[in-house]
Amino acid sequence: MLNIQKFFKRRKTLKNKIHKYISKKQDICCEEDIDRNFVIKQIIEKYKNICKILDEPDEYLNYIDNDLVKFIGYKVDLKKNKDNEGIKLCDEMHKRMYENNMVNEEKVEKILHDVPLYFLLSFLGYASYKEKGFSSHKENLSISV
């Protein structure tokens, strides 16, 4: 009996209510208030900074390509769970970012224009989180040396 109560209680959390509401709407409100070009430029700059910190300044597009599909799921987990829809979506996203066997910045910008606003803003948040994490880690290494 207790497990059923926990199940119904979990379904009524704020997180679940928001998820259910946004899922019905298919995206968050007020796209007209967000300049996608500005957000995309921020993402690219953050990844350039991340790769500079990692001494791989030319790899920022590959990092974006790798991290962007993480929002769908790790491919190994998608395969393990036989999530064919997720696998196809990851493959499509990868394919759209490549030109001549290399990740292309214009194509990255195009795909970022095509994703839902919540996805774009989540990716900006992830890029900020990652940038701050690497920056802090580098500072800690500098202090301890």
Domain that holds residue 66: 34-135
Length of the chain: 145
Is residue 54 included in any domain, yes or no?
Answer: yes
CA torsion, points 89, 115, 74, 13, in degrees to nearest 10?
A: -120
Q: Per residue of the chain (145 residues), what is the pLDDT tens digit? A: 556 556 556 667 888 888 888 888 888 888 899 999 999 999 999 999 999 999 999 999 999 999 999 999 999 999 999 999 999 999 999 999 999 999 999 999 999 999 999 999 999 999 999 999 988 877 665 554 4
Report the relative pairing of strands 102-103 and 98-99 from DSSP bridges: antiparallel
Name the domain count of the chain. Answer: 1
Is residue 55 included in any domain, yes or no?
Answer: yes
Is residue 20 included in any domain, yes or no?
Answer: no
The predicted structure's pLDDT at residue 136: 83
Q: Measured at the alpha carbon of residue 19, what is the angle toward residues 14 and 24, in degrees to the nearest 5?
A: 130
Is residue 12 included in any domain, yes or no?
Answer: no
| pTM for this model (two decimals) | 0.82
- Report the SS3 class of residue 24: helix
